[in-house]
C-alpha cells in the first residue's frame, strides 16, 4: 500500500478541499440566517398602514379607524430640526455608516457581556427600521445578526433620505402614535410641519422609550428628556446657545385629548359594517381611506338633543306612574326623501352601554303607524279618500280551532259611517280592519314588501293594526315613497370612498324603484297631512311648514311611534323598552314619540326654505266635508281641501261622491 505524500500537489488539493468546506459552512450559515429575510426590494412598494377617516356630508370628522394610528407624510414637510434632532439622539453617524455602526456594536457587546444579558441595543436608525418593518422585537443574537444583514441591504438600495422618511413615518412615539404626523396631532394638536424647536426635540426623544417618555404619561420626565435632546443639538452645533436657552424654557402645551372622538356612533357602526363587507377589514382599517357619508351633523346633533330631552321627560313620567326602574330607549332615523341618504340616526340612548342599533336591527310592532300602508294600497286599488266605511262593533269568525275576533277602537267608542280620510286621521281600528278585509290581507302584505318593508308580514286581518314586527328604517323608507312621487329609494349612508391618492374606490349608486303611482302617492300624502290638521298628530301643527305623518301605539303602551315627513325629509321616532314592558298608561305615540319628532323636525326645517307637496296633473283638489265625504263650498267651515284622481272627485250637486 502506497502512503500519502505531502507534495505540493497534494497540499494544494487538501487546501482546496479545506477552503471549500469552510466556504460551504459559511454559505450554509449565511443561508440559515437569511433564508427567511424579507425581500428588501418590497420597500419600493411598501405602504405603511394609515388612518381611515369617516366624515359627515358637511365635512365633520365622525370617526377614525386604524390598527395603528398613523398618518404618512413626505420628508419635505417634516421640519429639519426634527430630522437633525432625531439623528443627534438616535444615530449621530447615520449619514456616514453603511447601515451598522461597528464601534457602537463593540461597545454594546462589552456592556452586554458585563451584564450577562442584552442591555445595549447599538442599533442604527437603519437597523431600527429593519427591525420595525421585518423582525420581531425579541432580543436574540440571531435577530441582531439578521437585523445587521437587513440594514446593510437597505443601505445598498435606498438613499439616506428615503430611509429616514420611512423611519419617521413608521416608528412608534407612544400613546398610540405611529409616525411623526400622528404624534404631532396626538401630543400637540397640529400637523408636523407646524412644530417648533422644543416640540421637535420632544418628539425626537420618544423612540428610545416611547411608553415611558410620552408626555401624556409623564410630563415632567418628557420635559427632562426634551432638554437632554436640546443639549445634544447644541453640542453638535445644530442650534445656537441662544436657541437652546429659549427652547429649554418653553412650557409644554399639550393638545386637549379627545377621549370620545366617535360621533354619531350608531350610524358610524353601520357604516363600518357596510365597508367591512364591501372593501374588507384590512383595507378599511389600514388603507388611509376617506369616507364621505350622507349624514348631516347639524341634524344629528339636533336629533340627539331631542331624544335626550324626550326620554328625560318620559322617564320622569314613568317614575311618577310607579314604574320603579324605567329604562326607556329611543330610535330615530331621518332620510332625505329625494336621495334616500340617511341624514341622522340614533339607535339607542347610550352607545357605550348598549351598541345594539334599535333603528336598523330591532323588530317591533308599529301599531297604527302601519295603517298608511293599508290606506295607500286602497288608493292604488281605486278607493277615494271620501269613501265611507262603517265604524261599528264587528266580529270576524275564526277558522278551524281559531276563536272569533272582536277588534276594538283605542277610544272604545264608535262613530258610525266615516270617510277613509277621517278614519286614518283619528286612527280608528275597526275601519282599518274592515278595509284590509275588502282588499285582502295577503295583497296588503305584498304591497308592504313592495314599499320596502323587508320583515315578514303575517297576512291576516290584524296586520292592519300593526301586529307584524318591522324595523324602524324600513318603515320610514316606506313612508318616504309618498312625498317622493311613488318612488322607493333604499336608504344608504355612504356616498363615496376615496383612497389616500384621491382616487374614488367606491361610490354609491342609489337603488330606486317606482312602487306606486304618482297620483296615489300624492293622495296618501294628503291624507297623512290630514292626520296633522284634523287628527292624532295635531301637536305637529306647531311646525309652520307642510308636514304629514302618523302615530302608532301598541298594546299595553309597549311601543310608541311617530313616522312623518315634509316634502324633503322623512323622520321616524320609536320609543319603548328593550324588555317589551310598558312605558306606562297613556304613553301613546302622540305623547311619547311625537314631541321628540316635533323638536327635531322643528329645528331642522327652520333653516330650510319652504317646500310644498307634489300635486301631479292627474289629481284635483276639491273642498270636502271630512266626516261625510260630501263636496262643500270653498268657504264652508266644515270643508278641507282633499285630493282626488280626476274623475273620482265628489260632484257639486247633493252628496253624491262619484
Show which of 184, 215, 248 is a domain's final residue.
248
Do 104 and 82 fall into the same domain? Answer: yes
Q: Which three cell numbers stand for residue 538?
A: 295635531
Q: CA angle 536-427-587, nearest 5°?
A: 60
Degrees, nearest 5: CA angle 337-343-345: 120
Please say whether the beta carbons of 215 and 202 come within 8 A: yes
One domain, residues 403 and 453:
yes
Q: Is residue 352 a part of any domain in this protein? A: yes
- The answer to whether residues 424 and 479 belong to one domain is yes
* 82 and 219 co-located in one domain: yes
pLDDT of residue 178: 85
Domain membership of residue 108 as a residue range: 70-248
Residues 6+ apart with CB under 8 A from 388: 417, 418, 419, 420, 628, 629
Tell me which residue of 465, 511, 295, 441 sits closest to 368, measured CA to CA.
Answer: 465
pLDDT, position 140: 55
Q: Do residues 629 and 595 both lie within one domain? A: no
* Mean local confidence (pLDDT), 423-444: 97
- For residues 146 and 611, give the distance between their C-alpha atoms in angstroms, rounded to a whole number: 71
In a domain, 490, yes or no: yes
Q: What is the pLDDT of residues 283-325, one digit of tens each?
A: 888 888 999 999 999 999 999 999 999 999 999 999 999 998 9
Looking at residue 112, its pLDDT comes to 56
Q: How confident is the model at residue 69 (pLDDT cuts 50, 70, 90)?
A: confident
Closest CA to 573 of 390, 214, 227, 306: 306
How far apart are alpha carbons 393 and 464 in whole angstroms?
16
**Do 227 and 329 fall into the same domain?**
no
287 domain-assigned: no
Considering the domain architecture, whether residues 580 and 622 belong to the same structural domain is answered as no
Is pTM beyond 0.75? Reply is yes
Over 50: is that where the pLDDT of 400 sits? no
Same structural domain, 626 and 496: no
List the CATH number of the domain containing 241: 1.10.3810.10
pLDDT reading at 348 higher than 50: yes
651, 521: one domain: no
pLDDT tens, position by position, 182-229: 899 989 999 999 999 999 999 999 988 887 888 988 889 999 999 999
Average pLDDT, the chain: 87
454 plus 350 within the same structural domain: yes
List 49, 123, 214, 368, catalytic entry: 368
| pLDDT for the residue 120 | 47
All three cell numbers of 515, joined, read 312602487
> Using 50, 70 and 90 to split pLDDT, how confident is the model at 8?
low
Q: Write down the catalytic residue from 90, 380, 428, 649.
A: 90
Task: Map grid coordinates 311619547 to a residue.
Answer: 592
Asked whether residue 235 falls in the same domain as residue 316, the answer is no
CA-to-CA distance for 186 and 189, rounded, in angstroms? 6
pLDDT digits (tens, 9 = 90+) for 257-285: 665 557 999 999 999 999 988 988 878 88
The residues, any chain, with a CB within 8 Å of residue 42's CB and separated by 6 or more, are none
Asked if 564 and 625 sit in the same domain, the reply is no
For residue 347, give the CATH number of its domain: 3.40.710.10
Assess whether pLDDT exceeds 50 at residue 30. no
Q: Is residue 253 part of a domain?
A: no
Judged by average pLDDT, the poorest of 8-12, 519-523, 586-590 is 8-12
Q: Is the pLDDT of residue 531 over 50?
A: yes
Burial (CB < 10 A; 0-12, 13-18, 19+), residue 462, is middle
Question: Is 90 in the active site?
Answer: yes
3 state SS of 120: coil
Coil/strand/helix, residue 135: coil
Looking at 229, 248, 267, the residue that finishes a domain is 248
Count how many domains the chain has. 3
φ and ψ of 484, to 5 deg:
-105, 35
Asked, for residue 135, whether it belongs to a domain, the answer is yes
Q: What is the mean pLDDT of the segment spanning 156-169? A: 86
Check whether 417 has a pLDDT greater than 60. Answer: yes
**Which range (239-253, 352-366, 644-658) has the least confidence?**
644-658
Residue 170: how many other CB atoms lie within 10 Å = 20
Looking at per-residue confidence, does 128 or 567 come out higher? 567
**Considering 248, 278, 311, which residue would you say is the last residue of a domain?**
248
User: Is 403 a member of any domain?
Assistant: yes
Can you give the pLDDT at residue 655? 60
**pLDDT, mean of residues 555-583:** 97
Residue 161 belongs to some domain of the structure:
yes
Are the C-beta atoms of residues 353 and 594 closer than 8 Å to each other? no
Of 28, 577, 52, 536, which is closest to residue 292 (Cα–Cα)? Answer: 52
Residue 35 predicted with pLDDT over 50: no
Does residue 294 come out as left (phi exceeding 0), alpha (psi in the -120 to 50 range) or beta? alpha
Answer whether residue 281 is part of any domain.
Answer: no
Amino acid at each position: 500500500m502506497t502512503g500519502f505524500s505531502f507534495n505540493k500537489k497534494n497540499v494544494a488539493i487538501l487546501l482546496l478541499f479545506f477552503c471549500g468546506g469552510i466556504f460551504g459552512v459559511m454559505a450554509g450559515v449565511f443561508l440559515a440566517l437569511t433564508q427567511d429575510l424579507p425581500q428588501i426590494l418590497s420597500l419600493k412598494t411598501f405602504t405603511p398602514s394609515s388612518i381611515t377617516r369617516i366624515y359627515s356630508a358637511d365635512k365633520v370628522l365622525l370617526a377614525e379607524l386604524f390598527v395603528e394610528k398613523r398618518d404618512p407624510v413626505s420628508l419635505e414637510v417634516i421640519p429639519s430640526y426634527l430630522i437633525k434632532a432625531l439623528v443627534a439622539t438616535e444615530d449621530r453617524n447615520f449619514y456616514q455608516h453603511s447601515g451598522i455602526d461597528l464601534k457602537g456594536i463593540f461597545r454594546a457587546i462589552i456592556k452586554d457581556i458585563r451584564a450577562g444579558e442584552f442591555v445595549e441595543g447599538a442599533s442604527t436608525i437603519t437597523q431600527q427600521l429593519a427591525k420595525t418593518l421585518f423582525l420581531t422585537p425579541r432580543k436574540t443574537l440571531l435577530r441582531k445578526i439578521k437585523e445587521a444583514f437587513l440594514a446593510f441591504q437597505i443601505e445598498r438600495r435606498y438613499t439616506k433620505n428615503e430611509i429616514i422618511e420611512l423611519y419617521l413615518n413608521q416608528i412608534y412615539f407612544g400613546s398610540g402614535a405611529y409616525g411623526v404626523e400622528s404624534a404631532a396631532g396626538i401630543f400637540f394638536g397640529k400637523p408636523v410641519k407646524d412644530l417648533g424647536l422644543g416640540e421637535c426635540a420632544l418628539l425626537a426623544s420618544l423612540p428610545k422609550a416611547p411608553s415611558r417618555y410620552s408626555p401624556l404619561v409623564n410630563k415632567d420626565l418628557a420635559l427632562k428628556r426634551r432638554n437632554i435632546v436640546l443639549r445634544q443639538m447644541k453640542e453638535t452645533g445644530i442650534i445656537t446657545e441662544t436657541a437652546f436657552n429659549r427652547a429649554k424654557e418653553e412650557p409644554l402645551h399639550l393638545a386637549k385629548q379627545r377621549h370620545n372622538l366617535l360621533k354619531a356612533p350608531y350610524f358610524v357602526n353601520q357604516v363600518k359594517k357596510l365597508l367591512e363587507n364591501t372593501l374588507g377589514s384590512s383595507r378599511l382599517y389600514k388603507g388611509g381611506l376617506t369616507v364621505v357619508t350622507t349624514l348631516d351633523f347639524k341634524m344629528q346633533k339636533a336629533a340627539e338633543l331631542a331624544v335626550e330631552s324626550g326620554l328625560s321627560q318620559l322617564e320622569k313620567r314613568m317614575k311618577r306612574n310607579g314604574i320603579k326602574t324605567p329604562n326607556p330607549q329611543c330610535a330615530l332615523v331621518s332620510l332625505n326623501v329625494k336621495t334616500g341618504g340617511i341624514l341622522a340616526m340614533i339607535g339607542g340612548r347610550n352607545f357605550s352601554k348598549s351598541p345594539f342599533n334599535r333603528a336598523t336591527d330591532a323588530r317591533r310592532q308599529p301599531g297604527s303607524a302601519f295603517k298608511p300602508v293599508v290606506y295607500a294600497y286602497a288608493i292604488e286599488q281605486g278607493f277615494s279618500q271620501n269613501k265611507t266605511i262603517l265604524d261599528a262593533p264587528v266580529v270576524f269568525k275564526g277558522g278551524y280551532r281559531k276563536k272569533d275576533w272582536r277588534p276594538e277602537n283605542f277610544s272604545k267608542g264608535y262613530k258610525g259611517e266615516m270617510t277613509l280620510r277621517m278614519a286614518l286621521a283619528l286612527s280608528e281600528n275597526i275601519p282599518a280592519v274592515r278595509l284590509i278585509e275588502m282588499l285582502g290581507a295577503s295583497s296588503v302584505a305584498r304591497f308592504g314588501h313592495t314599499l320596502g318593508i323587508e320583515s315578514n308580514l303575517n297576512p291576516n286581518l290584524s296586520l292592519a293594526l300593526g301586529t307584524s314586527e318591522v324595523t324602524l328604517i324600513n318603515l320610514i323608507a316606506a313612508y318616504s315613497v309618498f312625498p317622493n312621487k311613488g318612488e322607493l329609494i333604499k336608504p344608504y349612508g355612504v356616498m363615496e370612498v376615496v383612497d389616500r391618492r384621491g382616487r374614488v374606490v367606491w361610490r354609491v349608486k342609489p337603488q330606486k324603484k317606482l312602487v306606486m303611482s304618482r297620483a296615489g302617492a300624492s293622495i296618501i300624502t294628503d291624507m297623512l297631512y290630514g292626520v296633522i290638521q284634523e287628527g292624532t298628530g295635531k301637536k305637529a301643527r306647531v311646525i309652520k311648514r307642510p308636514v304629514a305623518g302618523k302615530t302608532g301605539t301598541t298594546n299595553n303602551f309597549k311601543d310608541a311611534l311617530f313616522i312623518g315627513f315634509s316634502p324633503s325629509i322623512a323622520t321616524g321616532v320609536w320609543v319603548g323598552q328593550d324588555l317589551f314592558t310598558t312605558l306606562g298608561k297613556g304613553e301613546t305615540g302622540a305623547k311619547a314619540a311625537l314631541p321628540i319628532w316635533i323638536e327635531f323636525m322643528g329645528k331642522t326645517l327652520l333653516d330650510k326654505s319652504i317646500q310644498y307637496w307634489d300635486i301631479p296633473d292627474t289629481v284635483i283638489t276639491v273642498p270636502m266635508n271630512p266626516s261625510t265625504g260630501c263636496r262643500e263650498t270653498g268657504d264652508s267651515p266644515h270643508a278641507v281641501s282633499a285630493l282626488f284622481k280626476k274623475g273620482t272627485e265628489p260632484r257639486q250637486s247633493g252628496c253624491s261622491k262619484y
